[in-house]
Amino acid sequence: MSIHPMLAKVTAKLQRTDLPAFAPGDQVRVHVKIKEGDKERVQAFEGVVIKHKKGAEGSFTVRKISFGQGVERIFPLNSKVVDRVEVLRSSKVRRARLFFLRDLKGKAARLKEVDSRETKKAAANS
C-alpha cells in the first residue's frame, strides 16, 4: 500500500539527514536536548542499539547498564530532541532485534566487535 503523494512530500521534508548510519549492535552516544525551566542543556546517553525502526516515524532503542540496573530509552529518529548521534563502535550481530541482551549480565552480554575502518577500506578498494 503506497502513501499519498502529498503525505510523501511532507515526510520527506521532515526527514533528518545529519544522523550517521548505525545498526543494531552498535555502541552509540546520543546527545539529547533537555529543557529545565527556561534553560536548555544537552545530556549524553551511551549504550548499545538493540532495535532500529526506519521510516518516517522511525525510532531506535538504546540500552545501557547504570549502577547494575538495565536502562532502555527509545529515541524518535526525526525528532529535534536528539541533538546528535555518535557511533563509538560496531559489533557483529546476526539479528535485527537484540532483546536477548536483557537476560544476559556481565561478560555474557558482550558483543563481538568489528573494526569499521577495515570494512570501509575493503569497500573503497573494491
- How high is the mean pLDDT in each 10-residue block of the chain (126 residues)? 81 84 95 95 96 88 94 93 94 94 90 74 59
- So what's the pLDDT on residue 9? 87
Distance, in Å, from the CA atom of 115 to the CA atom of 87, rounded to the nearest integer, reads 12
- So what's the pLDDT on residue 115? 83
Residue 56 burial by Cβ neighbours in a 10 Å radius (0-12, 13-18, 19+):
middle
Fold of the 5-125 domain: SH3 type barrels. (2.30.30)
Domain ranges of the chain: 5-125
- So what's the pLDDT on residue 126? 57
